[in-house]
Structure 1
Amino acid sequence: MEHRHLGRSGLMISEITYGNWLTHGESVARDAALACVRAALDAGITTFDTADVYAMGAAEELLGEALRGVRRESVEIATKVCLPTGDGPNDRGLSRKHVMESCHASLRRLGTDYVDLYQAHRFDDGTPLDETLIAFDDLVRQGKVRYLGVSEWTAPQLRSALDLAGELGLRDRIVANQPQYNMLWRVIEPEVLPLCRAEGIGQIAFQPLAQGVLTGKYHPGRPAPAGSRADRDGRSPVFVRRVLGDHLLQRVQRLRPIADEVGRSMAQLAVAWVLNRPGVCAALIGASRPEQVTENAGAAGLRLPDDVLRRIDEVLGDLVDTDPGKTARMMAVKPEWAAAAT
Structure 2
Amino acid sequence: MTPMIYRHLGNSGLKVSVLSIGGWLTFGGHTEKETALECLKAAYDNGINFFDNAEEYSDGNSELLYGEAFRRFGWDRTTFVVSTKIFWGGKGVNQRGLSRKHIVEGTNASLKRLGLDYVDLIYAHRPDDCTPMEEVVRAFNWVISQGKAFYWGTSEWSAEEIADAHRVAEKLGLIGPLMEQPEYNMFKRHRVEVEYQNLYQKYGLGLTVYSPLACGVLTGKYNDLILPQGSRLTLDDEVKEERWLSQEGQANILKARKLQEIALRLGVQVSHLALAWCISNANVSTAIFGASKVSQVHDNLKALEALPLLTAEVVAEIEDVLGNKPKSLTSFR
Specify which of 88, 91, 100 is matched with residue 96 of structure 1. 100
> Could you tell me how far apart the structure 2 residues matched to 1:151 and 1:317 are?
27
> Could you tell me how far apart the structure 1 residues matched to 2:243 and 2:260 are?
20
Write out aligned runs for 1:1-342 (5 A): 1-68=4-71, 69-83=74-88, 85-170=89-174, 172-188=175-191, 189-220=193-224, 222-232=225-235, 237-238=240-241, 240-242=243-245, 246-300=250-304, 302-303=307-308, 304-318=310-324
> Could you tell me how far apart the structure 1 residues matched to 2:186 and 2:198 are?
18
Aligned residues: 319
Question: In the alignment, residue 241 of structure 1 is paired with which amino acid?
Answer: W
> Could you tell me how far apart the structure 2 residues matched to 1:199 and 1:81 are?
22
> Could you tell me how far apart the structure 1 residues matched to 2:250 and 2:149 are?
45
Task: Specify which structure has the higher proportion of helix.
Answer: 2
> Could you tell me how far apart the structure 2 residues matched to 1:242 and 1:176 are?
32
Q: Aligned-pair distance for 1:235?
A: 6.5
> Could you tell me how far apart the structure 1 residues matched to 2:249 and 2:314 are?
25
Any idea what the Cα deviations from partners look like across 1:28-65, whole Å, max 9, x if unmatched? 12112111101111221110000001111111010111
Secondary structure of the structure 2 residue equivalent to 1:264: coil
| Contact residue 243 and residue 250 of structure 2 kept, 8 A | no
Q: Aligned-pair distance for 1:252?
A: 1.3
Q: Aligned-pair distance for 1:8?
A: 0.2
Residue 86 to residue 267, structure 1, CA distance change in 2 (3 Å): same
> Could you tell me how far apart the structure 1 residues matched to 2:142 and 2:45 are?
35
| Contact residue 211 and residue 239 of structure 1 kept, 8 A | no
> Could you tell me how far apart the structure 2 residues matched to 1:74 and 1:153 are?
29
Question: In the alignment, residue 138 of structure 1 is paired with which amino acid?
Answer: W
Secondary structure of the structure 1 residue equivalent to 2:278: helix
Question: In the alignment, residue 68 of structure 2 is paired with which amino acid?
Answer: E
> Could you tell me how far apart the structure 1 residues matched to 2:90 and 2:7 are?
36
Residue 116 to residue 21, structure 1, CA distance change in 2 (3 Å): same
Question: In the alignment, residue 196 of structure 1 is paired with which amino acid?
Answer: Y
Residue 4 to residue 233, structure 1, CA distance change in 2 (3 Å): closer
Secondary structure of the structure 2 residue equivalent to 1:254: helix
The two structures have a TM-score, normalised by structure 2, of 0.90
Q: Quote the RMSD (CA, aligned, Å).
A: 2.0
Question: In the alignment, residue 179 of structure 1 is paired with which amino acid?
Answer: P
Q: Aligned-pair distance for 1:239?
A: 5.3
| Contact residue 82 and residue 94 of structure 1 kept, 8 A | yes
Any idea what the Cα deviations from partners look like across 1:189-213, whole Å, max 9, x if unmatched? 2212432343201111100000100
Q: Aligned-pair distance for 1:316?
A: 1.3
* Structure 1: segments with no counterpart, 5+ residues: 323-342
Question: In the alignment, residue 258 of structure 2 is paired with which amino acid?
Answer: R
> Could you tell me how far apart the structure 1 residues matched to 2:314 and 2:274 are?
12
Any idea what the Cα deviations from partners look like across 1:205-245, whole Å, max 9, x if unmatched? 1000001001111124x422344223457766455434585
Runs of 4 or more, structure 1, over 3 Å off, are 231-240, 242-247
Secondary structure of the structure 1 residue equivalent to 2:151: strand
| Contact residue 229 and residue 240 of structure 1 kept, 8 A | no
Secondary structure of the structure 2 residue equivalent to 1:116: strand
> Could you tell me how far apart the structure 2 residues matched to 1:235 and 1:91 are?
23
